[in-house]
Structure 1
Amino acid sequence: MQQMLQLMFSMQMDMQRSLRQEAASAIVNNTSTMITTINQPMNAGHCTICLTAIADTVLYRCGHLCVCYMCGLNLRETRSTTGVKYPICRAPVDDILRVYQSSRNGELI
């Protein structure tokens, strides 16, 4: 029992360490790109990758609804081969879920 607790604690510490390293790396590497992108307005509801299509896909792991279906498919496929993560929050993309808006008489509900 004690060995199991020590192993779980060790795994938790390793996970926290890797998250801290990843966050620090993202901050250091993306400081210059963040400054240039803050000044550019984004269209709400549009894909954050291609910036043209409507965002209709939820990313499984982070839960963000901010990419179109095609960009979501590309993220999922490239993640399995190269380990690419979602560029906004750096969460791994395990799967995608396409969502649809309901409407009644042309109004969203």
Structure 2
Amino acid sequence: MLWYVAKLLILLPLIGVMIWGSLKLSQKFQSRFMAAGQGRRIRIVETVMLSPTQKLAVIAFHGREILVASTRHGMTRLSEVEVIDGEAFEENFRDGADFAQTLRRIDK
């Protein structure tokens, strides 16, 4: 019984120190890898959860912001705007355009 308590008093703090050290190392490497990825061409600007299986995301890519819906079954592009000097410029749709014309203009 004395041997069991001695092992417990030695190994329990050792395991705690190993857990703490691995967390600190993972934080250090994560910040290092994130700094290396700043030159990426694509980045997620914002996400919104609609339900547990549906999410909306705004993705910045080559000077454009793309609104994407994400579900379990895939992703769908909903809208796209051009960003110039931090301002989004969206193509204005004509008044009275029917739904099919609007969809054709979005798919271009």
* Bucket of the pairwise TM-score, normalised by the shorter protein: 0.3 to 0.5
Greater Rg over alpha carbons, structure: 2
- More strand by proportion, 1 or 2? 2
Could you state the TM-score of these two structures normalised by the residue count of structure 1? 0.32
Could you state the TM-score of these two structures normalised by the residue count of structure 2? 0.33
